Structure 1
Amino acid sequence: MPQSTGNSTAHSQTGKHSAITRLLPFLVWMRLITPAKARDDLFAGLTNAVIVLPQGVAYALIAGMPPEYGLYAAIVPAIIAALFGSSWHLISGPTAALSIVVFTTVSPLAEPGSAEFINLVLVLTLMAGLFQLLLAFFRFGTLVNFVSHSVVVGFTTGAAIVIASSQVKNILGVSVESSGSFISTWQGVIAAAGDTNWFAVSVAAVTVVCCILVKKLLPRWPNMLIAMVVSSGYAWWLGAADKGIQLVGEIPGSLPPFLFPQIDAGSLYELAPGAIAIGLLGLVEAVSIARSVATRSRQSIHGNQEFYGQALSNIVGSVFSSYASSGSFTRTGVNYSSGARTPLAAIIAAISLAAIVLLFADLTSYVPIPSMAGLLLIVSWNLIDFHHIGCIFKAGKSEFAVLAVTFCATLVMALEFAIYLGVILSLVFYLKRTSQPTIVEVLPDPNSPSPFFNPAHNDQQPRCPQLRIIRIEGSLFFGAVNFVKDYLENVSEANVLIVANGVNHIDIAGAEMLMNEAQRRREKGQTLYLSNLKVQVNEYLSKGEYRAAIGEEQIFLSKGIAITQIYNRLNRDICDHCKSRIFIECKPTIIASDTVQN
């Protein structure tokens, strides 16, 4: 008796421990930190802080935010996601894809860079975080699976083109009137092309060339930061002010200020579609990147815990002047390759970045806008996944159609709706596949001593004239009923045996279809048989009138038993003159016939 109490207590403590670690996952990895791991995390964090400096400023410009907000978004969200997520290497912060969605969602409502614009962006971030938290609370992690890889690749490719297009005016050094759409942007660029500032173009070119060369010759060095420093020095040598080269300007040397966004009921309705898109896209990015790195680090990723981490990073970040964040592929890759061992590296990176902002913020006043535009061209090029585009093209028409439609929609419509369109198209193809389950005619293997069935290969194989055996591979739900019903009605044999071990799910429409088919055949003097029902399918048919209507004597535990029983019910006259004799049960008939003839 005491032993039982002890086990119960241990179980209770284990359950409490599990609940606490799910709520506060950092309690697990903090206990594992050693001096050696802390040293590795320190170096990885410092490297990451340097990497994100030009990246954060560039992403803020994409989002229509002042440059310092890109750095704010790389500080607080990174710490929160590291504390409450599940990945030991994922680093959260601003991303190119989310930045462009933020811009296209809010720019029609307020002037980019204005106080009203900033407030709406922070409200949008809070809404996206609450949406992610709702998904995490109800454990709806599977929703991310409906955003297929083709949608993500199509969207990021389109976003890359949109980002690059939006920076052409900064590269040319011209002012462009545009509504912000892809077509309008290029119309404005073409109209203003005659006023091109070739000094600005040269600064952008120096940035791009330097970035590529450093990446190629010194792959472990921070190529973006070096390119930004070199191009800033080049712009200073040219005399930026005299040559009409715009500069980023000095950013405030302060930590992210606490500021709860002012929420207007009217703006919630207008921001809702963008918030949902940012929430979904952010989760897809974060979970995909975390799983990608985990395959190399051999760490187990808990998807729903990652949902909580991303949700809290956006909710907390929104009140610390941080706009929408997610897992950063570049920073996560650098973090892993730099030797990070625990999420402490992400926290060190954020703290180091905060120190840089406090001590060296005035240096951004020397950074030219064309240099940032050049860096964004590099970012855009890296966003285009040519390898997976080729793989999707080879995979099939439906997958490539999803990619192509999402890509085109990204160029001609609001980005959040492009994501929705891609998801809807993916679901259409998915429903089409599931509504047409595979129906395979199977025949017994003549060389097998026991009942063993193989799919029929051609029409020349001998068949039983009285019985067709089929295997259904797929769920019998309302979407697949008509397809299966049409097949069964076109079966010419008087008896049909459905081997149902491939049917994982059945609903009321599927059960009624089987019941009606059994009754239809019974009225014609024919029979429908079932075998190998899975437990859940068998239980569902037993709940209502379905099993009784089909007939208890028509339902068998296995196909071997089914063949034996059905054979005894076949028309003997037809069996005696049959030359196929494909079943083991037919063999005694062959011997008996030979004996009579002799």
Structure 2
Amino acid sequence: MYLTRFKYIPLIGTLMNYKKEYFSKDLIAALTVAVVVIPQSMAYALIAGVNPVYGLYTAIVSTIIASAFGSSNHAIAGPTNAIALLVASSLGKYMGQENVYQMLFLMTFMVGVLQILFGVIKLGKVINFVSHSVVIGFTAGAGVLIGLGQLSTLLSISIKDSAHMSTMQKFYYVMTHLSQTNMYALGLGAMTMAIIIVCKKINKKIPGALIGIIIPIIFIVMFSLDQKGVKLTGFIPSSLPPFKMIQFDLNVMQNLFGGAVAIAIIGLVEAIAISKSIATTSRQKIDANQEFIGQGLANAGAAFFQCFAGSGSFTRSAINYQSGAVTRFAGIMSGIVVALVLLFFAPYAQYIPNPCLAGVILVIAYNMVDKKEIMHIVKAGKFKSDSIAMFTTAIATIVMPHLDVAIYTGIAISIALYLKDTNKAPLKILLPSQEKNGHVIEKEVKSLKEKVDILIIQLEGNLFFGSAEDLQTKLDDLTDKSKVFILRMKYVATIDLTALGALKVFIRTVKESGGIVIFSGVKSEFNSLLINSHVTSDIGEDNIFMSENEIFASSTNALERAKSVLGCEIIDGKDKSAACNLLESEINTNVDSGIKNRNTAAF
């Protein structure tokens, strides 16, 4: 039984319920993940602009801590492509300084603290403001940047002072110096990419990246290609991640804060998206706030062991789940396996060719551009909010010098477009047809030209200050179109004082012109609000009909009131107006059956 008092330490709950048969499944999944994470973490370190060993350190410490404290049983954290690119962007102008690694670990700590803070104050739902389209756009743009940034390594073209150049500047330099290409390096990188692609087509479970690195090493040793200009990874220490105290500096923290916030946000978006995606199949309940805390602890703790910021990995998490992992111990054991490999096999890593790691990165970068999802968003509408947010974020990611600004731009545009879409007041106009069958015609406000005896206005959704102006405009256009107005309030979810103010103006304008407004289907929770805002006194209690359990009960009462106002009961049947015929038809139908066809007036 899971102990509630240990809800912030999920590992204890896993231990309490762990079974022997889980171990073999978790171990197999851990070994499979470790095979993938070793080449990936080294490649991501290169994207971040640091020595590959720091990628391995991150794959050990971050993975273990996040698996112990995260909400998901299957999500695998550690170095990722998008986060590595953000790290490189945030520290780009500091590269070459003596204290750049101290700044790197300090920023990792800051990212972790921010994520813990987000979790503690329960901002899990706030992550929804970062739309899916923004993430797709950023990921696609990041994929392009990563791919362009690795061309110099793939072609083995040396760029002087490259640490202070943007990706686009490096790309321009490469394109203008293609004559300096080392064909041996290009051949090895192409071999790695070909092996990965072929392995994926044969069976997705084959560790193509690892094979794509091991085979070229054979060529390096056999033909001494390192002496022909092919650059190797170099020495990697055979030791576990060493503990090192972070050097805190307020000025440095101030300079890194903007980048740390962007990394924290994108990292959490990735982690939550991965966890929820797997949970749709595993049926595990995901606590977003706990995932925030788990990711935060992973980054804050890893900062003391010379790690850069990480997040949940789509690839490794999917492999972990598909390999049969049952509990979070699979993630913990994968980190331990990587640690053992680093401890006993690190000397062999010095023969890994940099062009081969670039080949791995290029394949990853290509896969980052989610073509199916992009087409899905585009098909929904090229000029819709989602498409605009996606393309804007993607372009900003590619052309802007700082990726954190690109992310903030995408989020701001996404929120602005959302607010633009939500400042419209949902309003339907229902008119009686000229036939004596009780049918109702739905029309747009602007299309209503003639004056009618009775006008039914159905309000829907959230009526708040943002939509009050639109509501006021639409109602103003209707004030001279009828004598009797029925405002259907049944489908109004919320209403604030600003929106009520628009309704009050409408009520008074109608009364001054000799008409009447009737409220139908008013929810009980709105009653006190109507009284306190004097709407009840303005409209009159006789003209407010509360929502009732009986189907169409309040609407039937409102129709009876409208019938009385129009004087339908004193008119001979053959001379009755279309409105009176509608009222009698609707009242009789509602009383007899309580059910109405969707094509008629659904009150």
* 1:512 and 2:512 matched: no
Q: Distance in 1 between matches of 2:571 and 2:122?
A: 58
Partner of 1:151: 134
- For residue 313 of structure 1, what is the aligned residue in structure 2? 298
Pair 489,253 (structure 1): closer, same or farther in 2 beyond 3 Å: same
In the alignment, structure 1 residue 578 sits paired with structure 2 residue 574: no
- For 1:330-382, what per-residue CA distance to the aligned partner results, in whole angstroms no more than 9, with x for missing partners? 11111011110100100010111111111111111100110110100011111
- Report SS of the residue matched to 1:275: helix
How do residues 318-329 of structure 1 correspond to structure 2 at under 5 angstroms? 318-329=303-314
| Alpha-carbon distance change, 320 to 549 in structure 1, aligned in 2, over 3 angstroms | farther
- List aligned pairs for 1:478-497, cutoff 5 A: 478-491=465-478, 492-497=481-486
Query: What is the distance in 1 between the residues matched to 2:75 and 2:488?
Result: 47
Aligned to 1:208: 193
Q: TM-score, normalising length from structure 1?
A: 0.89
Could you tell me which amino acid in structure 1 is paired with residue 506 of structure 2?
E
| % identity of equivalent residues | 35
- Report if aligned partners of 2:118, 2:292 keep a CA contact under 8 Å in 1: yes
Kindly report which structure 2 residues correspond to 1:157-172, keeping only aligned pairs within 5 A, or say none.
Answer: 157-172=140-155
CA contact (8 A) 2:556 2:586 kept: no
Tell me how far 1:481 sits from its aligned partner. 0.8
Separation in 2, partners of 1:460, 1:153: 39
Select the residue among 158, 180, 199 that pairs with 1:175.
Answer: 158
Gap change, CA 1:390 and 1:360, over 3 Å in 2: same
* One-letter amino acid matched to 2:293: Y
SS in 1 for 2:462: coil
Residue of 34, 41, 44 corresponding to 2:29: 44
Task: Tell me the residue number matched to 1:74.
Answer: 59
Residue in structure 1 matching 2:244, options 259, 263, 276: 259
Contact 1:93 1:328 in 2 (8 A): yes
Deviation string for 1:534-564 (max 9, x for gaps)? Answer: 3444443344434434433332112221111
Q: 1:381 to 1:460 in 2, by over 3 A?
A: closer
Query: How far does residue 187 in structure 1 lie from its aligned partner after superposition?
Result: 1.6
- Which whole-Å CA distance do the structure 2 matches of 1:17 and 1:45 have between them? 26
For 1:142-541, list aligned pairs within 5 A.
142-177=125-160, 178=162, 179-396=164-381, 397-398=383-384, 399-413=386-400, 414-443=402-431, 455=442, 465-491=452-478, 492-541=481-530
Match of 1:130 in 2: 113
Counterpart CA distance in 2 for 1:528 and 1:182 is: 64
Checking the alignment, whether the CA contact within 8 Å between 1:123 and 1:318 is kept in structure 2 is yes
**Runs of 4+ that moved beyond 4 A:** 443-449, 451-464, 571-577, 586-589
Task: Quote the offset at 1:319 in angstroms.
Answer: 1.7
Distance 1:209 1:586, change over 3 A: closer
Aligned residue for 2:79? 94
- CA offset digits 1:290-326 (Å, max 9, x no partner): 1111112222222222111111111111122221111
Give 5+ residue unaligned stretches, structure 2: 547-553, 589-603
Whole-Å Cα distance in 2 between the matches of residues 315 and 574 of structure 1? 80
2:456 aligns to what SS in structure 1?
Answer: strand
| 8 A contact 2:445–2:474 mirrored in 1 | no
Deviates more, 1:178-187 or 1:451-460: 451-460
Contact 1:51/1:225 (<8 A) preserved: yes
Give the equivalent residue in structure 1 for 2:594: none
Q: Which amino acid aligns with 1:121?
A: L
Paired residues of 1:90 and 1:327 also in contact (CA < 8 A): yes
Counterpart-to-counterpart distance in 2, 1:442 and 1:171:
66
- Measured after TM superposition, the shift of residue 464 of structure 1 is 8.8
Which residue of structure 2 lines up, in the alignment, with residue 63 of structure 1?
48
Q: Is 1:562 matched up with 2:558?
A: yes
- Counterparts in 2 of 1:210 and 1:522: CA distance versus 1, 3 Å: same
Distance 1:224 1:346 in 2: 20
Counterpart secondary structure, 1:341: coil
Give the corresponding residue for 2:591. Answer: none
Confirm or deny that 1:105 pairs with 2:101.
no
Q: 1:458 to 1:331 in 2, by over 3 A?
A: same
In structure 2, relative to structure 1, the CA distance for the partners of 1:58 and 1:477 (3 Å cut) is: same
Pick closer, same or farther for the CA change 1:472–1:194 going to 2, 3 Å: same
2:429–2:457 contact (8 Å) kept in structure 1: yes
Q: Displacement of 1:443 after TM fit?
A: 5.0
Q: CA offset at residue 149 of structure 1?
A: 1.2
Count matched residues: 571
Task: Letter of the 1:160 partner, please give it.
Answer: G
Residue identity in the other structure for 1:500? M
Using the alignment, how far apart are the partners of 1:237 and 1:587 within structure 2?
90
Compared with structure 1, are the counterparts of its residues 580 and 494 closer, same or farther at alpha carbon in structure 2 (3 Å cutoff)? closer
- Which whole-Å deviations, capped at 9, do the CAs of 1:459-510 have from their partners, x for residues lacking one? 9999992221121222111110111111111111133222122221222211
CA contact (8 A) 1:506 1:540 kept: no
- Unmatched segments (≥5 aa) in structure 1: 1-13, 590-598
Larger mean Cα displacement after TM superposition, 67-76 or 510-519: 510-519
